[in-house]
Structure 1
Amino acid sequence: MPFQITTQPFGPLPNGDISLTEYVLEHTESGEFITVVPEFGGILRRLVLRKSTKLFALLKAPETPQALMSDESYASALLYPFPSRIRHGVYQFEGEDFALKLNEAKRDNALHGFVHGRPFSVVSQDVTDTHAQLTLRYDYAGDTFGYPFPFVLTVTYELIQANLLRQGSHWEADKMCALRIRYSAQNIGTTRCPAAFGWHPYFTLTGEPIDHFSLSLPGRTPIKLDKHMIADGRSPFEEASEFNLHKVELDSAFEINPTSEPDASESYAETILTSLSTGVRLIVGQQTGAGKLNYLVCYTPTRRDSIAIEPLTANVNAFNNGEGLTVLEPWEELSGTMWVRLD
């Protein structure tokens, strides 16, 4: 069987309380693999996929436990119960005021939820002839200041044969692999709760500078952001387009317009990062539709060695403006799918 799952020590956190284990999901014939660190926010730390005969390292993420602890870029973080920013960390829900911890002091915002860095548990592993699959779970009791709503967040990482990635797809059907991520957040409390999800990966192609790439965005409506990076209106709709990233700085939010194949049962959108030197395309896909990943943030860090392409279910400051926000009844779930592939 070409797929396998193994573990390896990643090292202790600086406080010495936890020694991290990294799970490796691998295709032994192609050399493609992903690695996941459950005890630290369930993050995907490495993603290596193949195009033709060449392997490409596709993620910029911390290399050591010490770097994980000190990282302020949220590299590969799972973002829940809210992605992006909440102005002043304050919101109102069903007539009651709530105040979250501020973790973006320079802009006076609450940022990216609070599951990043928290310990997930491994609940299942599965290996077949076509995939290796790892499912993680985080149980939250409602004890974080400003969010008294218990939930269970489940995330499944899957290294899968690329031609099986989407039902009805016509993608290349050789032995190339792809990454698929499924998430589900369930309200296990007795009251309704606000919910939104996102993912914060930084992409590259084996360290190539981001100025050597172009970016293709799906049809979208740009979100205007104020000086605090809070949503403040919208610009006119823009058709799907491609542009060169040379000297382009992005910290931009969009509501995206989905596309679909004629025989596909679900709508989706894809953002494409293309190497101008090799022509290799890195494709980030997100499921769209009611309650799915209908928003996107793109960000180019000052070091210019990667680009964050962040699928989100809701707009910036959604706990206040309600744009894309999901309100879960007790035992209801917020769920969806994302993927990454090469072309």
Structure 2
Amino acid sequence: MEKTSQEDPVKTAQNVSIGATGAQYEITAANYTAVVTEQGATVRQLRFRGRDLIVGFTADEPVPDYRGALVAPWPNRIADGRYTYKGRELQLPVNEPKRDAALHGLVCEQPWTLVLSEPSGIRLRHAIRPSAGYPFSVLLDVTYRLDDAGFHTEVSATNTGDHTAPYGICPHPYLVAGKSALNSWSLELPADTFLEVTPDRLLPLGRRPAADGPFDFREARTLGGVQIDHPFTGLVRDPQGNARVRLTEPGGSGVGIRWDRSCDWVQVHTADHVVAERHRLGLAVEPMSCPPDAFNSGEDVVHLLPGATHIANWTIFAI
């Protein structure tokens, strides 16, 4: 898809309808179909030959459990919603009161502007304006594109302000291997290390080796009843620099996600839920540019200089 500038006019959408999350943009190519919503640039549906690759939701309902969300300018949570940056103490809205945290950034519920629409891809844009908790200006562009290799996402973040901005990014898809139960799916997760977290607030405690423990999925094995809601790092990458997670059901079909070096972390969650009909429907696999509470720890935070751009890429593909 062609590049556009900040001044480009809004393009006319193709294959668009209206739902509870605003405009519903449908794209299709090479046996793949996807629907992306105006609200949050959320991926509401992704299918290959009619088979769901993610846990979706209907056009007439709000986004449940951040399914398909695009998370910025920080992934995961910030403890107490508080952090200090460049000597300035800042307080974000606490939108996860149970854990007293600021969860999943600022853009999930915001409207995104359509920039470009083609049958196989779209580009959406959102400008983060300065606020009390995040006094920075960041322009986000997300491009979604389908081809034979899968569903590609590219997110660019440009600092349009006068001050260096802390930044992080991640997607929030719940991957679906097939119609069988999650416990029967096999997971291949090439990560040497995971981050132990507090059981009550899921805040970082320290790195632990994955080897020979319950979270060792460096070689594909069945998930069974294991419960995961942890960040992983120490990722094994291919010669092109990509990390990859594969999820398959007993028959061999499934889904995978790969991502580039912009994300050295991945959050994995077995979607254990108190609501029975939402329990373990899919496996959340979220490539992250930085770990939870990074605005406090400083670990792998992107320090986006004025005028600078950060780009992250990932692809979901059928197996």
Counterpart position of 1:48: 47
- Name the residue aligned to 1:148: 135
Instruction: Compute the displacement of 1:31 (Å).
Output: 4.3
After superposition, residues 39-188 of structure 1 pair within 5 angstroms as 40-50=39-49, 55-68=50-63, 71=64, 73-126=65-118, 132-143=120-131, 145-162=132-149, 178-188=150-160
Give the superposition deviation at 1:212: 2.0
Q: Residue in 2 aligned with 1:211?
A: 183
Tell me the amino acid that sits aligned with residue 194 of structure 1: P
Q: Pick one of 185, 192, 207 that aligns with 2:164.
A: 192
1:322 maps to: 298
Hey, which bits of structure 1, 4+ residues long, moved more than 4 A? Answer: none
Amino acid in structure 2 at the alignment position of 1:341: F
Shift of 1:205: 3.7
TM-score using structure 2 length: 0.88
CA contact under 8 A between 1:217 and 1:271: conserved in structure 2? yes
Paired with 2:84 and 2:179, the residues of 1 have a C-alpha distance of 43
Contact 1:10–1:21 under 8 Å retained in 2? yes
- Percentage of pairs with the same residue: 27
Unaligned runs of 5+ in 1: 14-19, 163-177
Q: Deviations over 1:141-196 (max 9, x none)?
A: 213x300101101100000122xxxxxxxxxxxxxxx1110001111110111000
Give 2:247's aligned residue. Answer: 273
Q: How many residues align?
A: 295
CA offsets 1:210-249 (integer angstroms, 9 cap, x no match): 1120111013311011231111111125472222112121
Computed over aligned residues only, the root mean square deviation of the Cα atoms, in angstroms, reads: 1.7
Unpaired runs of at least 5, structure 2: 1-12, 273-278
> Conserved in 2, the CA contact under 8 Å of 1:256 and 1:269?
no
Going from structure 1 to structure 2, the CA distance change for 1:41 and 1:255 (only over 3 Å counts) comes to same
Q: More deviation in 237-246 or 219-228? A: 237-246
Cα deviation, residue 311, structure 1: 0.8
| Selected match of 1:223 from 181, 190, 195 | 195
- Given that 1:56 and 1:205 are in contact with CA atoms closer than 8 Å, whether structure 2 keeps it comes out as no
Tell me if the contact between 1:122 and 1:136 (Cα under 8 Å) persists in the aligned partners: yes
